[in-house]
Amino acid sequence: MVLRDAVQRIALAHRDHGYRRITPWVRNAGLVVGQEKVRRIMRSDNLLAVRRRQFVVTTDSNHRFRVHPNLAESLELTAINQLWVADIT
């Protein structure tokens, strides 16, 4: 029960850590334990690591290419079917 309590406290304090990173924390707390035991405890208590989503920048605004103007901004629409747009993404 002491081991299970230690694993639960550490896993809840560090939600993004899996069993490999929690095992040294438990060992530093003075308990002798292996990774398999920590993994088994975490799996049985449903203490899964929450992955941090990595922010990926996909837009390069400082490119060397010419930027085409938006011709749809200057149009004054008076009827239907005067402006058609599409998105290539």
* Cα dihedral value 6, 40, 11, 35, nearest 10: 80
Whether 31 is covered by a domain: the verdict is yes
Six-digit token string for 22: 């929690």
Whether 10 is covered by a domain: the verdict is yes
Q: Within 13 Å, how many C-alpha atoms sit on residue 30's CB side?
A: 1
Whether 38 is covered by a domain: the verdict is yes
pLDDT band at 22 (very low <50, low <70, confident <90, very high): very high
Whether 6 is covered by a domain: the verdict is yes
What does the alpha-carbon distance between residue 75 and residue 14 come to, in Å, rounded to a whole number?
A: 55
Name the residue type at position 20.
R
Six-digit token string for 73: 């901004």
pLDDT band at 20 (very low <50, low <70, confident <90, very high): very high
pTM: 0.57
Whether 85 is covered by a domain: the verdict is no
Handedness of CA 37, 21, 23, 13 (dihedral sign): negative
Whether 8 is covered by a domain: the verdict is yes
Whether 32 is covered by a domain: the verdict is yes
Number of domains composing the chain: 1
pLDDT value for 1: 92
Whether 25 is covered by a domain: the verdict is yes
Q: What is the mean pLDDT of residues 43-69?
A: 88
> pLDDT > 90: what percent of the chain?
62
pLDDT value for 53: 82
